Structure 1
Amino acid sequence: MNTKLHAICDSRGRPVDLFLTAGPVSDYIGARALVSGLPNVKSLLGDRGYDADWFREVLQDKKIRPCIPGGKKRKTPARYDKRRYKRRNRPFRDIAFRCTAGQRCEIMFGRLKDWRRVATRYDRCPQAFFSAIALAATVIFWL
């Protein structure tokens, strides 16, 4: 059984919003589920899996500057701040949230994997597994 965890975390690597999908499902499903929970921030860092024109338009409608590199199959290259994306592991004051990209989210996923139940996936049921993730994320957020 495969699952994919989509997350929004703040600039300190604390989880803010989580969404679990099946493993072979596209990242666009996770982006569509999490886009309504995005707060008012200036910029969002995301990885190539979230490169979609509709996602960029939604971010621009919310006045959020997307910093997402274009996918490899994109015919016209997507514009993004290459310098900011390259320095994504450093904290920025104007970037409050990141969408599964950058060192901060990787730190958050590493902290989740410190929980043995999450790392080894004891729970085969997706609801029980997500409950364990939510419990670990709550403790990570407050520590």
Structure 2
Amino acid sequence: MVEGIIYRYRTGIAWRDLPGCFGPWQTVWKRHRRFSGDGTWDKIHSVLLAHADAAGLIDWEVSVDSTINRAHQHATNLPRDTGGPDELHESAHRAA
């Protein structure tokens, strides 16, 4: 099951496209969903980090640069006030 989940994330395929050698995709998906919901993945991640840190395998330095990433104005999920239908009519009159 875990190998099927890792394969799916590594390749970026849809769950339905998971090769049959990992078992039914529905079963693999259900196990992943259950592990995500009950915190199993978080526990595994914490243990792996603790072991790697104890072995000195993690470099905790962070590099930050001055790159600016901007989102397009329509990339937000927030509703915006367009002024209602009157604004559209007013803009049309100004354009003429």
The higher radius of gyration belongs to: 2
TM-score normalised by length of structure 1: 0.20
TM-score normalised by length of structure 2: 0.26
Which has more strand, going by share of residues?
1
